A = this chain, B = another copy of it.
Amino acid sequence: MATISDVAALAGVSTATVSRALNGKATVDRELVARVQQAADELGYRPNGPARNLRRQEAAVVALIISDVENPFFTAIARGVEDVAHEVGYSVVLCNSDENAEKESRYIDVAIQERVAGVILSPTGTTSSVDKLAARGTAFVAVDRPLPQQDSDVVLVDTRLAARQATDHLIAQGYDRVGCITGPAGVRTADDRLAGYRDALKSAKRPSSTKLVRRTEYKAAGAHKAAAELMSQPDPPDALLVANSAMAVGVLQALREQGVRPGRDVGIVAFDDAPWAEPVDPPLSVVAQPAYEIGTVAARLLLARIADSTRTATTTTLGARLIERGSSHRT
């Protein structure tokens, strides 16, 4: 594979000039630039990334560590990050931590090892593996969940408020016994959504009973079981706030099995506006989180921090939007 010396030889100049010419430094004669360019083209020259990064002591790469590639919420974030990063010539490496602290830690090690310019991640619960990033001075920003006792840039959604509004909406629609299926204790978004749900019950002066609440993994299977349990209690809920779209799949499934129709029989609002939320029957009411925007904001923060590591950390909180569809109306 052609190296910079090959190009230099062919163009009849030094490697330094080739480097300067190809990197657009102003101090190179126009004619030489052309000659170098032609030689490079002729040889199909591509700079050797590792060599460049070694010399520059940094790669124009950011790592994005998300907890679930199959979750549309996170893929939308990825899109946002990608779009911003590419604008300024950065590549994005997507890593899948699978909500697993060990995998997350491993990817962080890789990121450090490859000397990426920065890391964006949705931290898996209690982990402190981000300390490694902080210790090395690698720029990073957290999305979706704050880092415990870490003063870093964070991009969040006001998910507690969103949960409250969604619950308010269900109550306003005449549902009386609103239940909640949320994620595991300790996962911040799960806790917040539950808190918002309780806020709404309290302000509507409804009693809040633990019999109407279930916590499980953020997956379809757990939610399926939880919903089945809730619905076969003596006093089943007549509405459900569901904490993400994968869970909604499980809940819908459980309701179908019990012959219960969403909306008419049991009101449903789920977090995340999945593509299938609209075409299902009845259409699913959702809390749409600004996932793409989370990604763009996080990417911009990261780039700013890469450029200036002394910036003070900021927390950005974005709002979510309730989209009312058939599943939260009695008619």
Residues of A within 8 A of B (CB): 1, 44, 46-51, 53-54, 59, 69-70, 72, 75-76, 78-79, 82, 91, 93-96, 109-110, 112-115, 135-136, 220, 246, 249-250, 252-253, 256, 274-276, 278-281, 283
Q: Which of B46, B50, B94, B280 contacts A280 (CB 8 A)?
A: B280
What is the CB-to-nearest-CB distance from A266 to chain B, in angstroms, rounded to a whole number?
14
Given contact pairs A69-B78, A96-B78, A96-B82, A48 touches B220 in the complex (Cβ within 8 A) = no
In Å, the complex CA distance between A329 and B256 comes to: 17
B280 lies within 8 A of A115 (CB): no
Copies in the complex: 2
Name 9 interchain pairs, CB-CB below 8 A, sorted by A.
A46-B109, A49-B113, A50-B50, A50-B54, A70-B72, A91-B110, A94-B96, A256-B283, A276-B280
In Å, the complex CA distance between A246 and B276 comes to: 9
When distances are taken between beta carbons in the complex, the residues of chain B under 8 Å from A91 are: 110
When distances are taken between beta carbons in the complex, the residues of chain B under 8 Å from A82 are: 96
A136 lies within 8 A of B1 (CB): yes
A49 lies within 8 A of B281 (CB): no
When distances are taken between beta carbons in the complex, the residues of chain B under 8 Å from A112 are: 46
What is the CB-to-nearest-CB distance from A151 to chain B, in angstroms, rounded to a whole number?
21
Q: Which of B54, B249, B283 contacts A276 (CB 8 A)?
A: B249
Given contact pairs A47-B113, A113-B46, A70 touches B75 in the complex (Cβ within 8 A) = yes
Q: Which of B48, B79, B110 contacts A69 (CB 8 A)?
A: B79
What is the CB-to-nearest-CB distance from A30 to chain B, in angstroms, rounded to a whole number?
25
What is the CB-to-nearest-CB distance from A278 to chain B, in angstroms, rounded to a whole number?
6
When distances are taken between beta carbons in the complex, the residues of chain B under 8 Å from A70 are: 72, 75-76, 79
In Å, the complex CA distance between A69 and B281 comes to: 26
